[in-house]
Structures are given as C-alpha cells and as structure tokens.
Amino acid sequence: MKRNYGANDQIRIAIIGCGGIGRHHYRQFARLSGQCQIVAACDVYQKHLDEFRRLTGRPDIEPYTDYRRILERTDIDAVVVATPDHWHAKMTIDACEAGKHVLCEKPAMHNIAEGLAMVHAAREHKRVVAIGLQQRSGEHFKEAVDIVRSGRLGKITTVHCWNVGNETPNGIGNPPDGDPPPGLDWDFWLGPAPKRPYNPNRCIYNFRWFWDYAGGKVADWGVHLIDIALWAMGEHNPTEVCAYGGKFALNDNRETPDTVDCIWKFKDWTLLYTHRAGSDYPLYGRGYGTMFFGTNGSLYVSREGLEVHPDKERIPAYKRGGSAQSEPHAENFLAAIREGVPLAVDVLTGVRSTIVPLLGNIAYRVGRSIRWDAQRAQILGDREASALLSRNWRAPWGIPKRYIKPIG
C-alpha cells in the first residue's frame, strides 16, 4: 500500500496509548498541523481516552479501545505507538502488515527477539518505522557527535552514562493486588505478557519496574544515553557484557534493580551505565548524562547542553546550551513519509541501540558476564541467558516466527 502525497495533503495519524507520552506526541504533531492531522486515538483505559480528548480539545478525534480497529481504516496513514514496552513490537508489526507507517516509542522492544522481528517486518512491508530516541534530532547532540568523531578529544577509551536519584525509603510502595479501576481492560492491557492479578504498580507509569512489561531504568532512561554513546562511537555490537546490582535501597514491590552498574566491552573502549535510586549525589556534577573520556579531554552531553573539558590544556574548553529534540523528531518522521528523507532513528538503528541495554539486563538477571555474537543474534554458551532473548507470548498476541532472524 503506497500513497503519494501532494504539497497540500496531510498525513493522517492515530495515536495508540493516550497516557502522558501519547499526549506528548499529540502536542508535537499538533504544532505541525499544516503537515499532518491527528484523526484517531486508542487506549484500553477509558479514563485515559476521555482525558486525552478533553485535554486536546478535539472531540472530533475518533476514540477506540482496540488498536486493531484503527489498523483496519484505509484513511489512516501512520500510527504512534505510545504504549508500555511489552506492546511495542506487536503493534508495530501489525501496523506494518496493515500498511501503516509507525513512530514507536523507546525502548523499541521488550526483548531482543521482538526487535529483530520489527526490523524484518518494516523491511518486508516497506514501511517507514521510526523509534522515539529523539535526542538524535537535537542540534547540540549532533555537534557533540561531530566533536567526538573529529578526534579533538583524542582517543576515547571510556564512555559513562548514568541516572541517579533518591526514592528512599519506600519508592513506589507496596500496594496490594486488587480489582482494576473501572474502564480499564486489564486483560487487554496485559496482552502478550503473562496473566497476573491487577496491581496498581504494574500498570500506569510504574510498569517500567517489572520484567513482564519493561526493563527498568537501564532500558527506560538508559537507552537514550546509551544511544548517543553508540552513535558517536560508530559501534553498536559489544562482545562482552556484565552487570551487577540489586534491590539495595528501596522497600517497594518493583522487580528491577534500584542500584546497578553495567559494563559493555567493545573492541578498544568500554561503555558503562550507572543507576542509583538510593542517592542523588551527582556524578561529574550532574544527575544524568553521557560523558566521553578522551586522551585530550572529555565531553559531557545531556538535553540541557554540552561541555568540553580539556585534559592538561590540550584542547580549548567549550560549552553550548540545549536544542529542541521532540518536534524536529516528529517533523523528520513526516518528511520521511512524504519525501523519503532518511529517518533520524530508523527501526534498525533504534533496535540496535535497544539491544545494548537489554543485554545489560540479561547479564544482571543471570548474575554473570555474557558473550554476544551480533551477527547470529546469539548469546554464546549460556542457555539460561539465551532464554531471556525472547519470551513466551500469551495467545493471541504472538510475533510471527518468520520475522525473528538476525538483522546483520
């Protein structure tokens, strides 16, 4: 299914997932109203759907509680997948098969097998599939990458990414299981994930801290920071991964670690990611970011800007502020559909950048170093770790097996 867009044609978009991230995407595309139109929205929680239509002031947006009804519409060109992580792959693949273009939120997928499938589905159906790693659309991030690649910093031996904060002592708390709120289709929300009793922390926002649905801070926030490191260094395939940490600080019912350090070994440099939820003492004076350590100097970059710190006055110091990221990312997605321009983060790039933090989570969960063969998309010699590359999808929400193969 291919549509040619005239100069005055608007790209018709549906948003799937009407919580905070879905509303964020609405605002970005609403600023580009001359190029696109939001015509439909979907959520399995009626409260979110009603709030979305009220907050947008758009009662004309057609509401749905089943995303498959949106995909049946021939007048919709693209969808935004702004759901919890465990739905990303299934909805993206279904949308590709239905002839829709896709902007899928980060992290691209819940597990590595799903990411491989997303790439092959996009290729087979020739769809534009972008991933919401919007930092790549920020001009100051592009400049940071140019500086790293220019050689001004000298030889980069280490890149450190981090998120620190303090949620002690109770974190997200320990609410009991119970009945879902009125208007929430809990079984549909679970989808491909295992059947579980409803718990408030397993659902809105806090799903991030449960393995059934997401990958904790490493995959949720770390993927943004790690993506910039991989982009600047021009590599995405670590050979060895280790990670250690645990539930050391918080008395809550989350499953993912509140304290973790991951290390990925590349050919001649190492990538580190640190997360602490029990102390907000900043690293390098900052609560989060990506730091490149070179033999001539170091570069710090975050959404607020970049700084070059000389080492023994070998290079000049330099600083610049932040730049817009989300709106340019949305505009790039529309231009890719309309004009065929390259995506800032296509599905292959987004999946590769997500594989790295997911490998960190696997190493953490098995408690030992793992070896990764990217060409075969295999963990070498570790059956327990290899089992975490995929999942048993709950019927009827499986991923077609023909898509699950290495991406090269």
CB hemisphere CA count around 259 (13 angstroms): 12
Q: Which two tokens stand for residue 52?
A: 């979305």
Pick from 408, 374, 370, 406: nearest CA to 387: 370
Q: Which two tokens stand for residue 374?
A: 């990217």
Rama region for 326: left / alpha / beta (φ>0; ψ in -120 to 50; rest):
alpha
Q: Determine contact, residues 292/234, Cβ cutoff 8 Å.
A: no
Instruction: Count CB atoms within 10 A of the CB of residue 193.
Output: 24
What pTM, to 2 d.p., does this model score? Answer: 0.97
- Maximum Cα–Cα distance for the chain, whole Å? 63
Q: Which two tokens stand for residue 218?
A: 């490493």
What whole-number percentage of the chain has pLDDT above 90?
A: 97
Q: What is the pLDDT of residues 255-278, one digit of tens each?
A: 999 999 999 999 999 999 999 999
Q: What is the pLDDT of residues 323-351, one digit of tens each?
A: 999 999 999 999 999 999 999 999 999 99
Q: Determine contact, residues 175/359, Cβ cutoff 8 Å.
A: no
CA 148 remoteness from chain centre: 23
Residue with tokens 């981090």: 162
Tell me which long-range contacts 199-208 makes (C-beta under 8 A, separation of at least 24).
199/175, 199/253, 200/175, 201/172, 201/173, 201/175, 201/252, 201/253, 201/254, 204/19, 204/45, 205/19, 205/20, 206/172, 206/254, 207/84, 207/85, 207/86, 208/85, 208/256
**156-166/270-276 β-pairing:** parallel
Mean pLDDT value across residues 372-385: 98
Q: Where are the alpha helices (DSSP H) in 367-407?
A: 383-387
Rama region for 191: left / alpha / beta (φ>0; ψ in -120 to 50; rest):
left
Instruction: Count CB atoms within 10 A of the CB of residue 384.
Output: 13
Give the least confident one: 3-17, 97-111, 204-218.
Answer: 3-17
Residues 6+ apart with CB under 8 A from 408: 375
Say what the pLDDT of residue 1 is: 44
Q: Which two tokens stand for residue 131?
A: 């991933």
Q: Which two tokens stand for residue 384?
A: 């327990």
Instruction: Count CB atoms within 10 A of the CB of residue 20.
Output: 11
* pLDDT surpassing 90 at residue 293: yes
* pLDDT surpassing 50 at residue 229: yes
Q: Determine contact, residues 334/203, Cβ cutoff 8 Å.
A: no
Question: 8: pLDDT confidence band, cut at 50, 70 and 90?
Answer: low
Q: Which two tokens stand for residue 110?
A: 């819940």
The interaxial angle of helices 222-233 and 347-366, nearest 10 deg, is 120
* pLDDT surpassing 70 at residue 380: yes
Written as one letter, the residue type at 116 is: L
The residue ranking higher by pLDDT, 9 or 300, is: 300
CA 149 remoteness from chain centre: 24
Q: Quick check: helix, strand or coil at residue 33? A: coil
**297-302/288-294 β-pairing:** antiparallel
Q: Determine contact, residues 84/207, Cβ cutoff 8 Å.
A: yes
Residue with tokens 């801290």: 209
Give the least confident one: 4-8, 23-27, 116-120, 188-192.
Answer: 4-8
Query: Running DSSP on this structure, what letter comes out for residue 129?
Result: E
* pLDDT surpassing 80 at residue 2: no
What size, in residues, is the chain?
Answer: 408
Give the least confident one: 3-7, 314-318, 369-373.
Answer: 3-7
Domains in the chain, start-ordered, CATH in brackets?
11-136+327-346+395-403 (3.40.50.720), 137-176+202-323+356-385 (3.30.360.10)
Please tell me the distance from the alpha carbon of residue 90 to that of residue 189, in angstroms, as a whole number.
13
Give the C-alpha distances (Å, rounded to integers) separating 273 from 233, 283, 342.
15, 12, 29
